[in-house]
Amino acid sequence: KNQVEQSPQSLIILEGKNCTLQCNYTVSPFSNLRWYKQDTGRGPVSLTIMTFSENTKSNGRYTATLDADTKQSSLHITASQLSDSASYICVVSGDDSNYQLIWGAGTKLIIKP
């Protein structure tokens, strides 16, 4: 069964600290993996997209990694800010059409001052 599992479910860290969120998937075949950020009460916003051949992608203080062999991805946030408080969602596509995306349940990140 195609699945995307994210850990931890929730995380609280102090402002300025780094953190890493995990995503494991069992989707096959694999086309690409995306990370989205969803602020409370808003729709998700794309952070990164990685295809099979890409193993690292950065977007400012966000760095995503992909290991297609072990089917794992991580999202590392550096020097966290209060505005990073949000849910982070991992999404995997099994084909280039991307009509059927497998969504993880998300990690809820809270940054405390």
Partner 1 sequence: DVKVTQSSRYLVKRTGEKVFLECVQDMDHENMFWYRQDPGLGLRLIYFSYDVKMKEKGDIPEGYSVSREKKERFSLILESASTNQTSMYLCASRRTPGSKNIQYFGAGTRLSVL
| HEC readout, 15-65 | CCCCEEEEEEECCCCCCEEEEEEECCCCCCEEEEEEECCCCEEEECCEEEE
23 interacts with partner 1 by CB under 8 A: no
Tokens, residue 19 = 């953190």
Nearer to partner 1, 4 or 21 (CB): 4
Q: How far is the CB of 51 from partner 1 (least distance, A)?
A: 6
Nearer to partner 1, 65 or 107 (CB): 107
97 interacts with partner 1 by CB under 8 A: yes
Stretch of 19-27, 44-52, 55-63, 71-79 contacting partner 1, by CB under 8 A = 44-52
CB atoms within 10 A of CB 16: 11
Tokens, residue 106 = 């998300």
Binding positions for partner 1, rule: CB under 8 A? 4, 31-32, 34, 41-46, 49, 51, 89, 91, 93, 96-106
